[in-house]
Each structure stands twice: as C-alpha cells, then as structure tokens.
Amino acid sequence: MADINSKLDIGVTTGPIRGSRKVHVGPLGVAMREIDLEPSSGEQPVRVYDTSGPYTDPAAQIDIRRGLPQLRRQWQRDRGDVEEYTAREVRPEDNGQLGPDRSGGVPAFPNVAKTVLRAKPGANLSQMHYARRGIITPEMEYVAERENLGRARIAHERDGQDWGASIPDYVTPEFVRDEVARGRAIIPSNVNHPEAEPMAIGRNFLVKINANIGNSAVASDVASEVDKMVWSIRWGADTVMDLSTGRNIHDTREWIIRNSPVPIGTVPIYQALEKVGGVAEDLTWEIFRDTLIEQAEQGVDYFTIHAGVRLPYIPMTARRVTGIVSRGGSIMAKWCLAHHKESFLYERFDEITEIMKAYDIAYSLGDGLRPGSIADANDEAQFAELYTLGELTRRAWAQDVQVMIEGPGHVPMHKIKENMDKQLAACGEAPFYTLGPLVTDIAPGYDHITSGIGAAMIGWFGTAMLCYVTPKEHLGLPDRDDVKVGVVTYKLAAHAADLAKGHPAAKVRDDSLSRARFEFRWRDQFNLSLDPDTAEQYHDQTLPAEGAKTAHFCSMCGPKFCSMKITQEVRDFAAKQNAEVESFVAAEEAEAGLARVGMSDQDMETGFAEMSRAYNEGGRELYIGAGGREHD
C-alpha cells in the first residue's frame, strides 16, 4: 500500500496559481482568488472567480486519503430535516465484479463514512424546495458573495446584449433564492457531498463550464483520476462529470467526490450497464434504481438522466448521418427496441424524482438524441426529445426538484440560436447545459476550437453551463495537457459570453489586462491571463531574458519600433497640447474672472478644438475632437 499512497500524494497538483492569492470573503469565507498588480499600476488587485478549492491555498493541508473538510455539514444539520442511516453496502458489481482480493482494482477510499444522510420521511432537501418556501440558505448566501466578485466596489457600466436575460447589477441572496425558486438557476448540492463549495448554474449568473473525466475500459488509475479533477478545477472547471466505465467505478468515484470542492455529475446508466455485463436489454428499473441510491449516498450532485429518449422518437434517427451518438441515448434506444417498450426512465420519472429530492440531487436531463454531425442538427428527433425534456422539467418542478437541460452537440452557426430559443420556451428557462456545439465536423484534433466557437455563441444567447470538449474529442482519451487546453478554451468562451451579455463584473479583467499590456507590465499581463504559465512560457520562447519582462517593448516589433510606444507619445503629445491650450484658456478665463480646477473631458474636447484652430491649414480643420466628426 505504501507505494500506492505515495503515488497518490504525488499525483495531486497543489500550490497557488502563479501571481494569485487565495482570499476568503465575507462571513461565510467564500473562496476567491486575487491577482495583485505591480505597484506602478496604482490599481487594486483583481478579484476572480475561483473553482480550485483548497488545492491552491498554501495554508490548506491536503491529504487525499482523508478528503476535504465538510464545509456544508453543519448547515445541513442545522436545517433539522435530515436523518442519518447506514449506507448501502458496496457490492462486487459496483466495481465491475472486482473480487474480494481486489486484484486489478484501485484501493478503496480509506475514509468512507459508514452512515450517510437523506431527507427525513416527508422532507425535501432540495435548494429549490427551500427557495420556494422563502428560505435563504447559506448555500444561496455563498453563491451571492461568490458571483459578485466584489462588484459592488467597482464602478461598472452595463454594455451588452443579453437576449432577454435578467442579470442584476448586484447579486443578493434574495436574488439567488428567487432564481432557484423559479427554476432559472440550480445549486447542485447533494447532502452527501458536504465538501462542495456552493455554486449556481443559471442564465443570470456567470456562465459556468464542466469538465468530463473518467477512466475507461482502456484503463486508467485512481491517482490520475483524482488529479484530473484537481487539475480541471485549477484551470476553472465549475463542475466535473465522472464518466468512468469498466472496473473500479464505485471506488474511483468515492476518491473523487471526497476530494472535490466542486459539484460532481454522473450518468448513472453507465454504471447500471456495467452491472448487467454491458448488455443493454438486460437493464431493469430495479438495477437502475439501486445504482441511483448507491451514487446518491456517495454524494453525486447531479445525474444525467436520458428520460427524453422515448420509443416513438427512435425511428426518427434511422436516416440520420450519425444516428444516435449519445451513449446514454443509445443504451436506452437499444433497450426500448429490444423490449418494444417505452423507456423505464420516462415511465419511472416521478419515482426517480422522489430519490432526487431526498438527497438534493439535480437533474441534468440528457439529450440522448442530440445531433452528432452538422447534417443531423436541429432535426425532428432532437426537438421531439427537447419537448419531452420540457414536460419532464415541469414534472420535476412539481416536486421542487432542481433541473437543467442538456443540449447539443454538432450545430452550424446559423442553427445555434434556434436551439437556445426552443430550449427556453420548451423548458421554462431551466438552465441549458450544452456540449459545444461544434460548428463544423471537419477538424478532428481541433474540436475544442470548433466547439468553443459554438459554446461562446450559445453561452451568449443564454446557456448557463458549457460542457468542455478537448482536442482529443472523437479521437482518443484526453491526457493532462488536453484537459487543461479544454478547460481554458471553455473558460475563455464562457467569459466571452459573459462580456457579450454585459455581465457587470466581466469586463474588469479584460480592461485590467489590456492596461497592463499597453503599459508593458508583462508580469501583470501574464498573471491576469487565464493561463499565466503558458503566457509566460510563450513570451520567453522569443525573449527569454528576465529584463525583457520589464522592457518597454515586445517581441513583435522589437525595441526599435513599437506601436504602443508611439501611442504613448501620441498621448503625451495630446496631453502637452492640452496643457498648452489649458494655460491659454486659463489665462483667458482668469481675465474674465472665472476659476478653473483641472481638466474635464469637456475641456479635453475643447482643447482639441483649440488645436484645430491653431493648426488650421488652408481653411480645413485638421483636428476634430469628440464633438465634431467628419463622417457619419
């Protein structure tokens, strides 16, 4: 065991993100990241949303065999609606028929709780249930603080096109409660995952991203799986889905959840399929239900349930170019066809909902019939399923259970907005959670980019969470570098969406970075970027010297000529001219007995107008300031 443990220790990435400090804000100690800027900038630190958990906190003691502290446990107990009970025993089939000697298996998590929590009989632990009764939970307060990023202290102008969203200037706990109550946002928070830092997924909050991890039949190990989670959240994943198949599913998931500060999602049908040896037609409601309980007790925060893949829709896919590409969707399609029966996920939906509310697991209603190619986008099968997801949303909401809706897939740009509009209409503004979409099929190896384009657009249109795609999509399993590239790509897409929606705090970081760029504060530019390590590394490939990081030029133009340097001269010149004009005007005004204090914007324009008169050539006004435009 010693070997394995030391391997586990090595496997997890810790330490602050370059140039950032962990801060804990407000009475709940909401974790955020602050980026300090060079004193010469005269600027406040920039506060950014932080998904990385204690792993980037030098003060935290990380021991993945113990798991993270249980941030939410006391809040849960204080509500008085939970009961503790002995968890379902782990069975061989939970780990893919791993024998009692566990040969070929990963080590079991050494700190498994013997008892777990669920709702007392008749109770409902869902955040939506509290919200609808007017209760502001600590989870909602945490979310409010977290989303604000201190925007109250920032003078921000609103600028954007929000397509009908309702983004407030300032997020209050009451706003969070209201959004959750009406189903426009969810806070995935299984009572058995008290380690998670509360976060919201909703159209009126910052756009979130999800990273998928998971071993597969082709093999992986638990240390690398836990670190994939840690690595994903380091770069910005807001939630992580564990899509493991094959052996060790149960144990791997336990390691991940106990060490995860972000919500964990799964697709329970994957594990259920393993339990019946991979034969879809052998699936039963009982096996599926047992899997839900197993995962609920472990603390999975949201379940992808493909309950919209109904028997009548399956033939609609037969003439598609790429048929059914969702794994969950095709499992259910096969089951339905084999039995000539309606899906048990659809038939038993209300029973599933009963389980969800006992643990506060959120639905992620799967789009099992999403298009797998440009040719199949926005087709009948896809939208037929979407309307059913809308029906299921209403049924889940009837029990106060939180819901989000999964979306495509592969969609050319001109068909993206229709997806968003139909989803909003069909699902009553329940949060949309899309995979990309990829805007072309012809770039395998670059599908983080083909999908990043679609993700940015659909995020702008109103999608609440974007499921990342890595460069290995369609080709192979992502490695550590692929995961990082996927996360950063989606983080930039989500941020671009926030900017375009006019999210009040979003532009702060862009502006700060651009000022740093303009003033040749290279370190500030690196530190403010989504990936400071790569930014610095790229810079150093051309100009490795330490001095180049403080030099007032860059590698594009070299020291001799630099457009930003020239702009500074333009600016100095304009200021100097204005100063001349100012003293002239001041003298005039002094004569007229007027007092003047400094230069306003209006003065500056006046200054240009004065310059214009001063340098008038042959009757043509050469300088025209903000007030006078030649063309329009």
> Known binding site for Zn(2+): residues?
410, 474
Grouping H, G, I as helix, E, B as strand and the rest as coil, residue 208 is strand
Which C-beta is closer to a second copy: that of 124 or that of 330? 330
Nearest distance, CB of residue 470 and a second copy, angstroms: 10
Nearest CB to a second copy, comparing residues 71 and 392: 392
Question: With contact defined as beta carbons under 8 Å apart, do 284 and 273 qualify?
Answer: no
> Tokens 């040719």 appear where?
375
Closer of 85 and 615 to a second copy (Cβ)? 615
Is the CA virtual torsion 71, 74, 78, 81 positive or negative? positive
Paired residues of 83 in beta bridges: 118
| Number of C-beta neighbours around residue 265 at 10 A | 24
Q: What is the 3-state secondary structure (H, E, C) of 495-521?
A: HHHHHHHCCCCHHHHHHHHHHHHHCCC
- The distance of closest approach from Cβ of residue 298 to a second copy in the complex, given in angstroms and rounded to an integer, is 22
Q: How far is the CB of 355 from a second copy (least distance, A)?
A: 25
* DSSP assignment of 593-626: T----S--HHHHHHHHHHHHHHT-BTTB-----T
What distance in Å separates the CA atoms of residue 73 and residue 191, rounded to the nearest whole number? 8
Identity at 485, one-letter amino acid code: V
- Which residue ranges are tagged as binding site? 212, 241, 270, 306, 326-328, 367-370, 406, 410, 433, 474, 554, 557, 562
Closer CB to a second copy, 67 or 409, in the complex: 409
Q: Token pair for residue 597?
A: 């204090």
Residue among 158, 170, 236 nearest 204 (CA): 170
Considering the complex, state which of residue 354 and residue 481 has its C-beta at the smaller distance from a second copy: 481
Q: Is 237 helix (H, G, I), strand (E, B) or coil?
A: coil
Alpha-carbon distance of 28 to 141, in angstroms, equals 8
- Which CB, 86 or 541, lies closer to a second copy? 541
Please state, as a whole number, how many other Cβ atoms lie within 10 Å of the Cβ of residue 547.
Answer: 8
Distance CA 377, CA 409 (A): 8
CA–CA gap between residue 64 and residue 5 (Å, rounded): 9
Nearest approach, Cβ of 204 to a second copy (angstroms)? 17
Tokens, residue 631: 């063309």
Query: Which residues line the annotated binding site for [4Fe-4S] cluster?
Result: 554, 557, 562
Q: How far is the CB of 169 from a second copy (least distance, A)?
A: 18
Residue 65 vs 623, nearer CB to a second copy: 623
> Shortest Cβ distance from residue 559 to a second copy (Å)?
7
Pairing between strand 264-266 and 432-435?
A: unpaired
**Residues in the annotated binding site for substrate:** 212, 241, 270, 306, 326-328, 367-370, 406, 433
Cβ–Cβ contacts within 10 Å for residue 99, how many? 10
Instruction: Name the residue nearer to a second copy (CB basis): 264 or 272.
Output: 272
